[in-house]
Structure 1
């Protein structure tokens, strides 16, 4: 679905800083169709810049980005690319354009020239997919942060993309809102085979991912399954990152001499692992 080849992106020099800022430096990734990939990194690691190259918001300074085989640097392909790959950003208020929920969700399909009858069906299906059917005639500005973000996701779903990229889409939400959004994207990935790329700094959000990519100073420094990545506690901490709470608990217990495996990511698996060892 997404392929980057030696991708480089530099922000232009400013008056305050006389040199260009290298944000992404030689990144080569292949993200498979139907996968759920989490991209982690501290602020300034390049993860959000990488996300913005996926649908041509930012064009490479060097290298190449291919979306379903289409080059983002070809202007003739840009509309097709953005129909295949939808973006959800950090602040849903910046992505909501209408005063009524159903009108906002219809905005994308209308601009794509979809027939009115099809738009109605897409809006209904998209709102059902994010669990917001009961809010079809509500005013978006009266909704909670998590609900607004689900409406933003519905607006992307209504365009029927093959891939959704969420760029720090849970950063402004409370734990309940984050859980709501994560449940939606995990279900879309599982039931509709939509490729999901989640850019985040919340380690716990990677629990159900197929793959975790860790960035630092514009480069990919770790890449593997959640268990493979998060059991490298020392390396992550050197990068200024934490680990999921469950791994942290098991890691501390192991340091105290308890013979536990630290690769249990869910709360249930973590508890089972502790019980297993205690029962010995």
Structure 2
């Protein structure tokens, strides 16, 4: 499978106060993200996960090492527009990304700034709103929408640029459970149906259950990398890093400590229930 994003010995340090030594937020990260995959990046605050996300479309440039987007070096200023057309970012607060007073104008903002012909913009807006199932809100005022709806509009604004990859940096953190599920359903569908590469930065463990791959960041390094079942079965290691596990795995782990012979890789509620039922028979 083709590589969407690749980092080689990636390092990044935020500017330090005068007289202080900069601390590396990213310290030698080597990651390959395949085109069309769904990758979740987990980690506690300060682990480097959001910093890593911002290097994927050149919001932040490496202090050392390299980041490549479909082979393009993000440090090459001449490639910046092409890189950002291929990798779109959705941030934590949708209010910071919504720039217009009408939904359709907001979604059209990026294509207009890219010089897309007017007749093409209409189709891009309609297609993007349909993709996030917000077509009925085309003439609504964004500030009157719910948090989940606003975030879906922000995603539509990114989709209108027809990126190959969407990076969501804690995009569900400010949402209630209903809004979070709206956004998650949207990005799962975009990944499965339109084969858009998705990189989801989150601290909600349950959001990683349907991912193809989970990266766990610790102190600016990749501490774990594997399929969700593989990563979440390492319960004690995750807890040692100050992280939780999905509710299903937590329940299974508690049962194991009580002497019940259940696996730790039953992630979904249905799988968990079946595993417990089998163990109790």
Q: Given the two structures, how large is their TM-score scaled by the length of structure 1?
A: 0.98
Q: 133, 137, 142: which is aligned to 2:144?
A: 142
Query: Partner residue of 1:161?
Result: 163
Task: Report the alpha carbon displacement of residue 141 of structure 1 after superposing the two structures with TM.
Answer: 0.3
| Off by >2 Å, runs of 4+ in structure 1 | none
Query: Partner residue of 1:9?
Result: 12
For residues 85-116 of structure 1, the C-alpha deviation after alignment (integer angstroms, 9 at most, x for no partner) is 00000000000000000000000111111111
Partner SS for 2:83: helix
Mark the runs of 5 or more structure 2 residues left unpaired by the alignment.
Answer: none
Query: Partner residue of 1:238?
Result: 240
Partner SS for 1:49: helix
Aligned-partner Cα distance in 2 for 1:117–1:43: 44
Partner SS for 1:182: helix
Task: Report the alpha carbon displacement of residue 241 of structure 1 after superposing the two structures with TM.
Answer: 0.1
Matched, 1:46 2:51: no
Aligned-partner Cα distance in 2 for 1:206–1:234: 18
What are the equivalent positions in structure 2 for 1:186-265 lying under 5 Å apart? 186-265=188-267
Q: 104, 109, 122: which is aligned to 2:106?
A: 104
For residues 144-188 of structure 1, the C-alpha deviation after alignment (integer angstroms, 9 at most, x for no partner) is 100000000000000000000000000001111111100000000
Query: Partner residue of 1:91?
Result: 93
Aligned-partner Cα distance in 2 for 1:273–1:124: 44
Partner SS for 1:83: helix
Task: Report the alpha carbon displacement of residue 21 of structure 1 after superposing the two structures with TM.
Answer: 2.4
Query: Partner residue of 2:271?
Result: 269
Matched, 1:60 2:62: yes
Matched, 1:117 2:119: yes
Q: 69, 72, 75: which is aligned to 1:73?
A: 75
Query: Partner residue of 1:152?
Result: 154
Partner SS for 2:35: coil
Aligned-partner Cα distance in 1 for 2:123–2:276: 49
After superposition, the CA RMSD in angstroms is: 0.8
Query: Partner residue of 1:129?
Result: 131
